[in-house]
């Protein structure tokens, strides 16, 4: 039996929507890493489609964070604005 090395991982460029979405949620304290992955995915989906509000996208992720929901919305909104993305 042979084992091949894993395929190399190609990172998204720093200015891509995917990288921005996952970067703005990366250090939000959560119960499990998968909670942050779901949150990043929902922020990315909101950035792509702009369906509903950012608050609805964050709530839809169902992430179990160690900070209140309102604080998560505030942090994500502020970080997106810092990246030059309009949040309304």
Could you list the pLDDT tens digit for every one of the 88 residues in the chain? 678 998 898 888 989 999 999 999 999 999 999 999 999 999 999 999 999 999 999 999 999 999 999 999 999 999 999 999 998 7
pLDDT at 88: 73
- What is the Cα–Cα distance from 79 to 21, expressed in whole angstroms? 10
C-alpha to C-alpha distances, 16 to 23, 36, 49, 54, 83, nearest whole angstrom: 11, 18, 15, 18, 11
């Amino acid at each position: 039996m042979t084992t091949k090395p894993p395929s190399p991982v190609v990172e998204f460029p720093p200015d891509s929507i995917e990288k921005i979405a996952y970067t703005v949620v990366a250090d939000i304290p959560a119960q499990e890493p998968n909670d942050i992955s779901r949150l990043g995915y929902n922020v990315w989906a909101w950035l792509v489609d702009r369906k509903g509000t950012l608050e609805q996208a964050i709530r839809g992720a169902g992430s179990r964070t160690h900070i209140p929901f309102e604080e998560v919305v505030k942090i994500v909104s502020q970080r997106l604005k810092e990246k030059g993305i309009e949040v309304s």
